[in-house]
Amino acid sequence: MDRSSPVPLYFQLAQQLETAIERGKLAPGSLLGNEIELAGRLGLSRPTVRQAIQSLVDKGLLVRRRGIGTQVVHSQVKRPLELSSLYDDLEAAGQRPGTQVLRYAAEEATAQVAAALAVPEGTEVRAVERLRFTHGEPMAYLCNYLPAELLPLGREELEATGLYRLMRGAGVTLHSARQTVGARAATAEEGELLGEPEGAPLLTMQRTAFDDTGRPVEYGTHLYRASRYAFDFQLLVRP
C-alpha cells in the first residue's frame, strides 16, 4: 500500500487482489479472510477494505456470503459486455484489423437517422461508411452517423483506428448505448462488398450511443459476415 500515491487505497487493494486471483495465488473457492482482520493487517479501515472487495464483487471475481466469508469465484469470468469498439476488439485478439473508408461526407439526416440522433429530419450529419478487414479479408460493413458539430474527423484517422477511440480522444465521454442484434440475408450488393453470395446469412447490429448528458453521439448500422464473426459476452446477474 502506497499512501503517497494518487491512486486511491481501495483501488490499490482491488488491483492487488485481482492480480493475485489472476495469477492463481488466491485459488478459486478459497476464502479471503474476514474484512476486519484484513483491514488490521493492511493498516486500513474496514470501509476501505469493503470498497475494494465490493468492486471485485461487482466485476464478478468474488462472492460474499453472510456468515461464511468472501470467496474467489471458480469460473473463468472475463468481463461483462462493454461498449467496445470492433477495431479494439480485433486488435486485442491479435487480428490486425484494417479499415477502408468507402464514404465520408456531410448529408441530411433521413427519418431513421434523425430519430436515432434526436435531431430534426434534414439536419446535416456526418456519415461514415467503412469496410473492416482482418487478414486482408472483409469482415464487416459499418455505416455510422454522427452529429455534424461533433468531430472534424480526418479520413486517415478513420483508417488508422476505431471511431470510439477517436471520439474519446476528442473529449466525448461515452456513457451508455442501446443495441439491437439480429440477422438477415445478404442482398446482392452487400454480398459483393463482403465477399459472400447473395442470400448468405449476415449478423446485423444497430447501435445508438449516448454521452453522459444523455445526448446521442453516434448511430450505427453494422453488417457482419456470419461465417466469420459472432458476438461473445459475459453477463453478470445483478443481485
Chain positions contacting a second copy, by CB under 8 A: 28-29, 47, 58, 60, 63, 71, 73-75, 77-78, 81-83, 173-185, 199-204, 210, 212-216, 226-227, 229-238
Instruction: Report the partner that residue 191 touches, choosing among a second copy, DNA, none (CB closer than 5 to 8 A by kind).
Output: none
Report the alpha-carbon distance of residue 82 to residue 22 in Å, rounded.
20
Q: Minimum distance between the CB of residue 210 and a second copy, rounded to whole angstroms?
A: 4
Instruction: Give the sign of the dihedral formed by CA 34, CA 38, CA 41, CA 46.
Output: negative
- Of 65-73, 112-120, 149-157, 202-210, the window that binds DNA (rule: CB under 7 A) is 65-73
In the complex, the smallest distance separating the C-beta of residue 199 from a second copy, rounded to whole angstroms, is 7
Other residues' Cβ atoms within 10 Å of the Cβ of residue 221: 17
Which three cell numbers mark 18? 485481482
Choose the one of DNA, a second copy, none that binds residue 226, judging by a C-beta under 5 to 8 angstroms depending on kind: a second copy
Nearer of residues 159 and 212 to DNA, judged by Cβ = 212
Binding positions for DNA, 5-24, rule CB under 7 A: 8-11
DSSP state at residue 31 = B
The residues, any chain, with a CB within 8 Å of residue 70's CB and separated by 6 or more, are: 31, 32, 33, 34, 35, 53, 62, 63, 64
**Partner from a second copy, DNA, none binding residue 182, C-beta < 5-8 Å depending on class:** a second copy
- In the chain, how long is the greatest CA-to-CA distance? 68
* Main-chain dihedrals φ then ψ at residue 39, nearest 5 degrees: -65, -45
Shortest approach of DNA to residue 71 CB, angstroms? 9
- Residue ranges in contact with DNA by CB under 7 A: 8-11, 32-37, 43-48, 50-51, 64-70
